[in-house]
């Protein structure tokens, strides 16, 4: 007597069950993978949004900083202009007594019969034009200018006779160095 045991249907059923479990596990893993991918994309999107907000904030702050830098540059320009004006005022204030002293010495050195028709000042040099009755008065005037404490040796540039009988002369004279210094 022989007993026959048929294991094939049992094996077939176990194989089918394992295939079904594998398919379920595969589907579950696919769902988990898709869910994980979706969650990762949400996480990165959130991080990207946060970074974009930080970038926007930095750009706004950068624009504000650029505006403030522009204002500082404007203030610096105004400051430079004010410093230049202060320098001009200081130079004018310093030159005031010098001008008075030079004009006083010009008047005290003026010889009889001589009068000035034009006075021009360029930095530390005076250019004078005038009229005299005779040539000797012109040379006396030059010596008188040289004797002043505020002026150096005058340089006569021209002398000519006019139709009225006067001597028209032009000269230039520099101020002494101590007179031309600025504080």
**Helices 135-146 & 8-109, crossing angle to 10 degrees?**
130
pTM (2 decimals)?
Answer: 0.48
Whether 60 maps to a domain, the answer reads yes
pLDDT of residue 44: 94
pLDDT of residue 177: 65
Among 32, 67, 95, where does a domain finish? 95
pLDDT of residue 1: 66
Domain co-membership, 86 together with 133 = no
Report helix, strand or coil for 169. Answer: strand
Report helix, strand or coil for 124. Answer: coil
Whether 120 maps to a domain, the answer reads yes
Full residue range of the structural domain in which residue 80 is found: 9-95
Query: C-alpha distances in angstroms, 34 versus 20, 31, 40, 48, 143?
Result: 21, 5, 10, 20, 111
Domain co-membership, 35 together with 90 = yes
Mean pLDDT by 10 residues, the chain (183 residues): 70 88 95 95 94 95 95 95 92 78 81 86 86 86 83 84 86 72 43
pLDDT of residue 181: 46
pLDDT of residue 66: 95
Domain co-membership, 73 together with 151 = no
pLDDT of residue 180: 45
pLDDT of residue 182: 42
Report helix, strand or coil for 177. Answer: helix
């Amino acid at each position: 007597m022989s007993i026959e045991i048929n294991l094939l249907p049992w094996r077939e059923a176990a194989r089918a069950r394992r295939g079904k479990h594998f398919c379920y596990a595969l589907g579950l893993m696919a769902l988990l993978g898709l869910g994980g991918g979706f969650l990762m994309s949400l996480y990165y999107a959130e991080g990207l949004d946060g970074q974009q907000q930080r970038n926007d904030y930095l750009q706004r702050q950068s624009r504000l900083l650029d505006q403030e830098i522009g204002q500082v540059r404007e203030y610096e320009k105004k400051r430079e202009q004010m410093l230049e004006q202060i320098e001009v005022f200081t130079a004018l204030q310093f030159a005031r007594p010098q001008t008075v002293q030079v004009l006083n010495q010009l008047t005290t050195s003026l010889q009889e019969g001589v009068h000035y028709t034009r006075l021009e000042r360029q930095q530390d040099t005076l250019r004078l034009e005038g009229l005299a009755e005779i040539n000797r008065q012109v040379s006396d005037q030059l010596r008188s200018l040289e004797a002043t404490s505020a002026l150096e040796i005058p340089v006569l540039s021209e002398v000519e006779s006019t139709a009225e009988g006067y001597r028209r002369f032009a000269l230039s004279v520099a101020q002494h160095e101590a007179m031309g210094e600025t504080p």
